[in-house]
Amino acid sequence: MATILDGKAHADRMLEAVRLGVEARKAKGLRAPGLAVVLVGDDPASHVYVRNKSAACAKVGITSFEHRLPADTAQADLDALIDRLNADPGVDGILVQLPLPKGLDSKRALHRISPEKDVDGFHPINQGLLLEGLPGLRPCTPSACMSLLAHHGVDLKGIRAVVLGRSEIVGKPMALMLLEQHATVTIAHSRTKDLPAVCREADLLVAAVGRPGLVEGSWLKPGAVVVDVGINRVESLSLGEQIFAAEPKKLENLKTKGAVLCGDVRFGEAMDVASAVTPVPGGVGPLTIAGLLTNALMAADRNR
């Protein structure tokens, strides 16, 4: 039976480190870090994320500023808000909540954020620094996954790591961070031939695909470490019966509640093959906010 890598517990450790960092700033007479969150439109999931981010800021002593704009906001007005926040000395970090409503160009918005305040780590300057192995603000989800692996003593040197997914947000930066730690990295995606065979080579498998239960237990190398970044909502009972065959409790929840969250990996099956697995929920999900606030503190310490 694999060990469960508890993301919530590690997120709490990361947040405590941020809280102490904020305290240390205050002890030196410096102000609390300021994080501005820009939310455009009324995507319900984005509203929940923004609420959770503000609550987490309050817990660790970071000042959060929420800027809510209507869905029909013009790109020029979004640009103007970002420019104002870039120039505001009380704002150390700026986050534009994605997805933006149709008609707004998210790349343009993300590229307009000053790299020093880019706490999501999506600006090309920060992505370039990561590529060069230089310090900078790095994407929150993969850097928090790295922190989780380090905490659990996973030795990455020389191992075969497979990253499923090649997004700029998770897959590509995760692969670069693993490479930096001397893993031999394969990036797989929707065009990869014989995905199960590629996965079976992995001592460490990171799944960031967004397909519920794509990775079966038989795709895993015995003893592999599995980091499941995917967060998927499953409502279909027939799909649930297929992917939760080794998770009777999850299947029961699906039947009673009508929907459940799950990862890209079949957790119940992975528990029988792998040596360590992150659950969904309670794995990588809580780590992302902790990574974001770690970045906000780092940005503030650099800005003073």
Chosen residue from 23, 24, 55, 190 binding ligand NDP by CB under 6 A: 190
In the residue annotation, 72 being an active-site residue is answered as no
Binding mask 118-157 for ligand NDP (x = CB under 6 A): -----------------------x----------------
In the complex, least distance from residue 88 CB atom to ligand NDP, rounded to whole angstroms: 27
Q: Rank residues 191 and 257 by Cβ distance to ligand NDP and give the closer one.
A: 191
Residue 166 assigned ligand-binding role: yes
Residue with tokens 């160009």: 105
Q: Is 170 in the site for ligand NDP (CB under 6 A)?
A: yes
Residue 77 Cα distances to 69, 84, 104, 136, 273, angstroms? 9, 11, 11, 28, 52
Rounded CA gap, 148 and 5, in Å? 8
Residue 159 assigned ligand-binding role: no
In the residue annotation, 102 being an active-site residue is answered as no
Q: Is 208 in the site for ligand NDP (CB under 6 A)?
A: yes
Chosen residue from 147, 232, 278, 295 binding ligand NDP by CB under 6 A: 232
Reduced to 3 states (helix: H, G, I; strand: E, B; else coil), residue 276 is strand
What's 57's DSSP letter? H
**β-bridge mates for residue 38, sequence order:** 67, 96
Alpha carbon 181 to chain centroid, angstroms: 19
Q: Rank residues 81 and 226 by Cβ distance to ligand NDP and give the closer one.
A: 226
Q: Is 233 in the site for ligand NDP (CB under 6 A)?
A: no
Please choose, out of 17-25, 120-128, 225-233, 236-244, the segment that lies near ligand NDP by the rule CB under 6 A: 225-233
Residue 84 assigned ligand-binding role: no
Reduced to 3 states (helix: H, G, I; strand: E, B; else coil), residue 36 is strand
Q: Is 199 in the site for ligand NDP (CB under 6 A)?
A: no
Q: Which of 92, 118, 120, 203 is catalytic?
A: 120
In the residue annotation, 53 being an active-site residue is answered as yes
Number of Cβ within a 10 Å radius of residue 101: 16
In the complex, least distance from residue 217 CB atom to ligand NDP, rounded to whole angstroms: 17
Strand 204-207 versus strand 160-164 pairing type: parallel
Rounded CA gap, 245 and 271, in Å? 13
DSSP H helices in the chain: 7-27, 44-60, 75-87, 106-112, 124-131, 140-151, 171-180, 195-200, 237-243, 248-257, 267-273, 284-303
Residue 133 assigned ligand-binding role: no
Residues near ligand NDP, by CB under 6 A: 141, 164-167, 169-171, 189-191, 195, 208-211, 214, 229-232, 284-285, 288
Question: Catalytic site residues?
Answer: 53, 97, 120
User: Which residues are documented as binding site?
Assistant: 165-167, 231
User: Which residues are documented as binding site for NADP(+)?
Assistant: 165-167, 231
